[in-house]
Structure 1
Amino acid sequence: MGKHTKQDSNEIYQERASQARTVRKIVLICLSVIFAIILIGLIGGYTYLSNALKPVDAEGEGNDIEVTIPVNTSTTGIATILEEEGLIRNASLFRYYTRYKNESGFQAGTYTLNTEMDTDQLIEQLKDGRVIAEAASTITIPEGLTLNTVTERLAEFTGTSQEEVFEYIDNQDYVTGLIEEYEMLTDEILNEDIHHPLEGYLFPASYQFEDEQPSIEAVIKDMLNQTERVYQNNKTLVENSEYSFHELMTMGSIIEREARESFDRFEIAGVLHNRLNEGMMLQVDPTVAYAQGEHIYMTSYADLDIDSPYNTYRYTGLPPGPIATVREQSFVAAADPNDTEYIYFYARYNGDIIYNEDYDQHLEARNTYRHEWEEAAQSEDTE
């Protein structure tokens, strides 16, 4: 075996030192490049955000734009309205900005805003509530109501009768005109099995009017406009779905009647999609109640005998049309459901939902908690 000399050891040391210096240089260069990229990104992001928050027409003369914010409109809804009216550049950024600044308390009403106003000025005016005119009347339509209940409220609000409201909204010529006017409406609503063409299309929200007793036409118009806005805001979801907007609204109305919590809306939507994909009957109680034309606390075997295309215990697929008013989230859930393996769910009286993949376990859950609905029905009968 040969022996290492001092000269050999020194050469090895020098070589290793040189390699170490090279590695340090490479690491330093990489870190410098990464830092530069981050710095450029931060500067670019800050510049983009700063510009996005500036007035849309900072160097122009500015235009006054009349904007109406309905009662109970979410920050997301307000952002969408402002973007559509050309007052902000990006609705998502407006939403994140208000969340970052913890802004809230936006007031409903009709405002005159200007394109020279920056984001902070718009926020302040919407919080201040300086509107063009105070509302003389307000009507609130909750989610999950059938058109029969909605028309009762509309009749009282407009000073007419329920029969007059139905005569107006069910008129064939009127409905045909609406199909030509609104992109969301198609000939699907003319299906002869549908009880009322506009069932589910009158958006649930609060609406303000300058007249103490507005016309049926004015109220219906505002409600349809709101649903059209939901359609336009989620048009990509509709285009990417295998179902039409009408079918998604139908599914959304079922979800609306079954779920109370946000998570459950998307999970139930996943179950419904699974059952439809498997060619199974949906077997959801709210459709039976709609077919019966009355509120049913607990579906009986006798209720299931009704021969109606809305009876999802008797017919496969979706019913002909929506069965109730639909909030935007329920519609979105129908279009973009959770990816789940569940094909059964049971809704308890307290609102909890029990999901199962196995039918026997589903029956066990139903048998365990069915008494809650029976007790609720008995309590209602004694009142």
Structure 2
Amino acid sequence: MSDDIGLFTDPDVEERRRPVKRDRERDTARAKAKKRKKTILWLVVALVLSAGMGGAYWGYLELRGIGSYDDYAGSGEADAIVEVQDGDVVSKIASTLYDNGVIASARAFTEASKTDGRVTSIQPGFYLMKTKMSGQQAVARMVDPKTRVPAVQIVGGLKLTDIKVGDKTVKGIYSLLSDASCTEKDGAKKCLTPDEIKAAAEQTDPVALGVPEWALADVKRAEPQYRLEGLIMRGVYQVKPGVSAVELIRSVIVSSATKLQGFGIPNGTMNTGFRPYEVLVMASLVEKEAIEKDFSKVSQVIYNRLKEPMQLQFDSTVNYLLGQPHIRTSDADRARQSPYNTYRSFGLPPTPIGSPSQQAIAAAIKPEGGDIMYFVKCQADGTSCFAKTFDEHNANDQKAQREGIY
């Protein structure tokens, strides 16, 4: 019998059926929503993969040298100084050239370099290039030895200023820096003069010049013309042309400070009984007074005489102010009153008297040992004879004179 009007329907049973129906509808809706989310997620993944594959394919084309790239035509326009650092490979050099506006794309350089094996031998340093060069022209210019700015070679014992030797001039550090500062623009050569560099060295705040903290107090006390002496140690320095005199000096002082730190100043001086700057002064004296094999012995003489105390009596300190090479001094020279005249003054001179080498620094930090007090050059090759007493020293001195050593 039908019950169209619901006369025989159990209300409780019907009520129980309704939630079941609603649950099924809700589950169906959730399933559809989840399916839509999965579809969207897969679409996103597909787009990412597509883009990635496109990028990978483009990279593949680049690596294979397939496809076009930007390149300028011609030999360039304005001057541009670029730096190649130690360890730079061809691709890094190409990026540096691009960043400095030399080439239109790194690819222009790397492609052109494939026909010139000399590119892999490009040395660290500064190169005088042109903006907007073709890749081929940039390669040709980079491998040309004339393009590289010559490095500054500082030898042991070199002074800041020139020394006159007869009718010849031994260039000092300021003159060498002047030579390295030159640039050419529109065919005209422009350089900082030695006097401009000297003025900047003497008049600029030492902190702005990069003087290390351990030397600041002594540098500030020193007379301006001598205050940077010895802070540029022996070595090779890459100098960027076209910069100001202050920038030029600072770059060399900072580079030298790094070298000095590697060779024990200041950290290696703690057990010497002397301040780092005093050790630097001693190293400069050792450099001037002896040949390398005698460095540690001369250093020991310095230690022993300072301990006495006893005047050092070094001709090299007298000649430093006289602007003379390392030769013997006259009675008149030794009679001059000066803190650099170690025949009249006790202790160390107020500044170094030249550029020390790594070997001289090592000797100043760790002297030979023993109680030697005197030395004199006694052989033609510069070898010195050492003595503990003045009588021994006098005998060595007279023998050297008889043999014509000096």
TM-score by length of 1: 0.59
- Cα 1:184/1:201, change in 2 over 3 Å: same
- Cα 1:362/1:217, change in 2 over 3 Å: same
The Cα shift of 1:302 comes to 1.4
Instruction: Spell out the pairing of 1:218-233 with structure 2 (5 A cutoff).
Output: 218-233=247-262
2 CA distance for matches of 1:131 and 1:340?
46
Task: Specify the alignment match of 2:46 in structure 1.
Answer: none
- The AA in structure 1 aligned to 2:150 is S
The Cα shift of 1:111 comes to 1.9
- Cα 1:222/1:146, change in 2 over 3 Å: same
Q: Does 1:146 align with 2:178?
A: no
- Cα 1:137/1:368, change in 2 over 3 Å: same
1:156 alignment partner, one of 179, 186, 190: 179
Is the contact made by 1:270 and 1:338 (CA closer than 8 Å) also made in structure 2?
yes
2:296 alignment partner, one of 252, 266, 270: 266
Instruction: Spell out the pairing of 1:26-41 with structure 2 (5 A cutoff).
Output: none
2 CA distance for matches of 1:226 and 1:327?
14
Give the percent of matched residue pairs that are identical in Structure 1 and Structure 2.
Answer: 26
Task: Specify the alignment match of 1:357 in structure 2.
Answer: 388
Instruction: Spell out the pairing of 1:161-180 with structure 2 (5 A cutoff).
Output: 161-171=193-203, 173-178=204-209
The Cα shift of 1:296 comes to 5.1
- The AA in structure 1 aligned to 2:255 is Q
Task: Specify the alignment match of 1:323 in structure 2.
Answer: 353
Tell me the number of residue pairs that the alignment of Structure 1 and Structure 2 aligns: 249
Q: Which runs of 5+ in 1 are unaligned?
A: 1-107, 114-127, 375-383
Deviations 1:17-50 (A, max 9, x none): xxxxxxxxxxxxxxxxxxxxxxxxxxxxxxxxxx
The Cα shift of 1:214 comes to 5.8
Deviations 1:200-253 (A, max 9, x none): 101222223565x66544542332123322343324322222111111111110
Task: Specify the alignment match of 1:111 in structure 2.
Answer: 87
Q: Which is bigger in relative contact order (C-alpha 8 A, separation at least 6)?
A: 1
- Cα 1:183/1:176, change in 2 over 3 Å: closer
1 CA distance for matches of 2:296 and 2:326?
24
Deviations 1:74-97 (A, max 9, x none): xxxxxxxxxxxxxxxxxxxxxxxx
The Cα shift of 1:132 comes to 6.7
- Cα 1:267/1:194, change in 2 over 3 Å: farther
The Cα shift of 1:165 comes to 1.2
Is the contact made by 2:156 and 2:355 (CA closer than 8 Å) also made in structure 1?
yes
Q: Does 1:293 align with 2:323?
A: yes
Structure with greater helix share of residues? 1
- Cα 1:136/1:160, change in 2 over 3 Å: closer
2 CA distance for matches of 1:194 and 1:314?
23
2 CA distance for matches of 1:166 and 1:328?
25
1:335 alignment partner, one of 365, 373, 386: 365
The Cα shift of 1:259 comes to 1.8
Instruction: Spell out the pairing of 1:309-320 with structure 2 (5 A cutoff).
Output: 309-320=339-350
TM-score by length of 2: 0.56
Using the TM superposition, name which of 353-362 and 154-163 deviates more. Answer: 154-163
1 CA distance for matches of 2:240 and 2:217?
34
2 CA distance for matches of 1:303 and 1:187?
30
Is the contact made by 2:240 and 2:248 (CA closer than 8 Å) also made in structure 1?
no
1 CA distance for matches of 2:361 and 2:199?
28
Q: Which runs of 5+ in 2 are unaligned?
A: 1-83, 90-119, 126-141, 143-147, 162-171, 182-190
Is the contact made by 1:271 and 1:344 (CA closer than 8 Å) also made in structure 2?
yes
2 CA distance for matches of 1:217 and 1:110?
24
Task: Specify the alignment match of 2:112 in structure 1.
Answer: none
Cα root mean square deviation, aligned = 2.6
- The AA in structure 2 aligned to 1:278 is E
- The AA in structure 1 aligned to 2:252 is M
Q: Does 1:191 align with 2:221?
A: yes
The Cα shift of 1:152 comes to 2.2
1 CA distance for matches of 2:297 and 2:360?
11
- SS of 2:296's equivalent in the other structure is helix
2 CA distance for matches of 1:228 and 1:292?
28
Is the contact made by 1:298 and 1:373 (CA closer than 8 Å) also made in structure 2?
no
